[in-house]
Amino acid sequence: MPRLLRLPTAPWAKELARLYPGAFSLTRGLRVHLHPGLESGYAAAEEDDGFHIAYRGLDDLMLALGDQLSGTLPADGAKTPALAFRGIMLDASRNAVPRADFLKDRIARMALLGLNKFCLYTEDTYPVAGEPLFGYARGRYTEKDLRAVARHAAAFGVEMFPCIQTLGHMEHILKYPHYSPLKDNEYVYNVFAPDLYAFIEKTIDAAMAPYATKLIHIGMDETFGLGRGLAFKEGEPVFPRKLYVAHVAKVVEICRAKGLTPVIWGDIVLGHGGEQSMGAEEMSALPKDVVMDYWNYAWDDPAKYDREIGDFARLGYDPIVSPGIWCWSRFFPAYYKAESNVRTLVEAAKRAKARGALNTHWGDDGHECFFDWNLPAHTYFLAQCTETAGSRNVQATAKLRFAAAFGADFDAVRSVEAIDLAGTKAEALIPANIGKCFFYDDPAQGLFSGLPFVKPAGKFYAAQAAKLAKLAKPKGMFQTLFRFAEAFCAFLAVKADLRQRAAKAYKKKDKAGMRAVLKDIASAERRLVTARNLYRAYWLSERSPFGLEIVDGRMGMLASRLDHLRGLLKDHLAGRLPVLEELDFDHYSMYHDSRSPDYQPSIWPEFMIHYSGLASRNPIKWW
């Protein structure tokens, strides 16, 4: 237990005393004396009259208090973080918009781990005056909410800045006919549209309004099909890279006129975003007063990272790097993959003496994975950012900090990754997603479970449910999450093998086997209700209700399809339906193996399927 520290009167001190009453107080304990003005980092020491902390900035002070809380203060009491820019980007555009109060709490806790930058990825979920369709019915923030979170973060030394898009990834706006004049294709703005740059300037002004910062991430990644949609003019050649460079220059000029420092994703420049890498002519035309953000989530190749980060340095940029924590398209994060990616990329950033790192927390395919499941990965990332070569083991530091900041065991929380491994090998390139595949797999068609290499998993999930039930007993911030994970596995203990069992019994004309499946369908339905209710409750504690309808609808369809399987079996047993086509058709892989120069053996793609690949091969598009 850390020694009780008596903090000086300050808003941040009051909050820390509330969050950690056993470690910090405003009225009791060893008095803390603060000495701002240190050239870098912090220096902390206990003396006769109290605990003294010299520090450069408020972020260094928070790190010092966090290290004291977790028992990770260096032996000499002094530390200069390895990276100056230590940020997290949280996706608030792909179906889930975290609540302001939730963000305040987590930002305060993570400041003690070394966090000093934070941004919400908002494609359209921030307010733009005169644009009511921006974030319409998607949980859009108010300016008041964003301003309140930013002020709260600043009190803990965390600079919040906007993270938006100014070219691609604008499908949530371009789906509306109102914005057709700005549309090139479904995702990308038309760079020839007469009103485009006035509109972009308006969105930049709106994005900046809640924040006291000059930093803005303007996106520019994955601009697929640029210039080849409605912007295409018959008979005129299209040079997508030149269009891209010209557009970046125009948007950067808008930022420059406002005194802003723009950040852009670097994939298009290096040829990672569906286009060839840029040649010397395009490179020379790129603005040099931008911060290049080198993102790469899949590879764990130090030489590759050294080379590509070096490419930006040779072009005259001082880049940041962005690893990913592998929580997208799944219910539970693949911590092992996040750690590998974070370690390799952040260590490369340290070697390159890059300005820092921005850990990306994406929410593709419905953002089903809750933020708190990913706190071990964020804690590890921040430990990598603060600890220098030769310091104590980063993993050990992360575990101590996690326990102190969140009151839970690091390894216990990360253990939920087993749900998606299901006993398979942890792959280096793409992590398995077996839990979600079994969960949403259509109970009648079995688009996943019907594949020949998919083995029965009911016993595995029953064992996982028992383990999680034990983890769910202690009270704390993860208790409800463990209860959901337990309910998820308890459902799969029955549901995972239902389709395989039903198909086997049908083909063998085993009526007793089919009746056993009917009995278990009812059990699966009851367990699904439990899992759904726990999921709903946690969603609403963390997020806006807008977006829940997507996951609720998916679970509702799953319930409906369980009922459909019941009907098939009942009708067959009663002689009303002699042939069950859905239980007897050939299953094929929906993907082929990659044989590119970058190929690595992997159980991708079947174990990383999105919802649409599991529920039906007949997608419905409404827009």
pLDDT tens readout for residues 75-126: 999 999 999 999 999 999 999 999 999 999 999 999 999 999 999 999 999 9
What pLDDT sits at residue 605? 58
**Domain covering 433-615 assigned CATH 3.40.50.300 in the classification:** no
**Mean pLDDT on 415-427:** 90
What pLDDT sits at residue 388? 87
User: How far, in Å, CA of 580 to CA of 328, rounded?
Assistant: 35
601: pLDDT strictly greater than 50: no
Of 141, 270, 112, 309, the residue nearest 211 (C-alpha): 141
| pLDDT tens for each residue of 138-189 | 999 999 999 999 999 999 999 999 999 999 999 999 999 999 999 999 999 9
For the chain, which residues make up each domain, given as ranges?
Answer: 5-79, 85-415, 433-615
What pLDDT sits at residue 606? 60
pLDDT band at 392 (very low <50, low <70, confident <90, very high): low
Of 571, 579, 561, the residue nearest 616 (C-alpha): 561
Q: What value does the CA radius of gyration of the chain take, rounded to a whole number of Å?
A: 26
Helical H segments across 496-547, by residue range: 498-507, 511-542
597: pLDDT strictly greater than 50: no
Lookup: tokens for 111? 């400041």
**Domain covering 85-415 assigned CATH 3.40.50.10420 in the classification:** no
| pLDDT tens for each residue of 281-339 | 888 899 999 999 999 998 888 999 999 999 998 889 999 999 999 999 999 999 999 99
DSSP 177: G
**Mean pLDDT on 416-441:** 89
User: Are 20 and 118 within 8 A, CB to CB?
Assistant: no
**Domain covering 5-79 assigned CATH 3.30.160.230 in the classification:** yes
598: pLDDT strictly greater than 50: no
Of 355, 385, 409, 392, the residue nearest 110 (C-alpha): 385
What pLDDT sits at residue 1? 63
| pLDDT tens for each residue of 185-228 | 999 999 999 999 999 999 999 999 999 999 999 999 999 999 99
Cα–chain-centroid distance for residue 51? 38
| pLDDT tens for each residue of 535-564 | 999 999 999 999 999 999 999 999 999 999
Q: pLDDT averaged over the chain?
A: 94
Burial 517-529 (b: 16+ CB within 10 A, else e): beebbeebbebbe
pLDDT band at 431 (very low <50, low <70, confident <90, very high): confident
31: pLDDT strictly greater than 90: yes
Lookup: tokens for 529? 């209700």
Of 437, 570, 403, the residue nearest 502 (C-alpha): 570
Q: Assess whether the region 85-415 and the region 433-615 belong to the same CATH fold.
A: no
CA torsion, points 114, 117, 120, 126, in degrees to nearest 10? Answer: 140
pLDDT band at 275 (very low <50, low <70, confident <90, very high): confident
For 175, counting Cβ atoms within 10 Å of its Cβ (0-12 exposed, 13-18 middle, 19+ buried), the class is middle
486: pLDDT strictly greater than 90: yes
- The torsion angles phi and psi of 31, rounded to 5 degrees, stand at -65, 135
What residues contact 603, with CB distance under 8 A and at least 6 apart?
424, 425, 427, 430, 432
Q: Would the pTM of this model clear 0.85, i.e. be above it?
A: yes
pLDDT band at 272 (very low <50, low <70, confident <90, very high): confident
422: pLDDT strictly greater than 70: yes
- Tokens 């003496």 belong to residue: 353
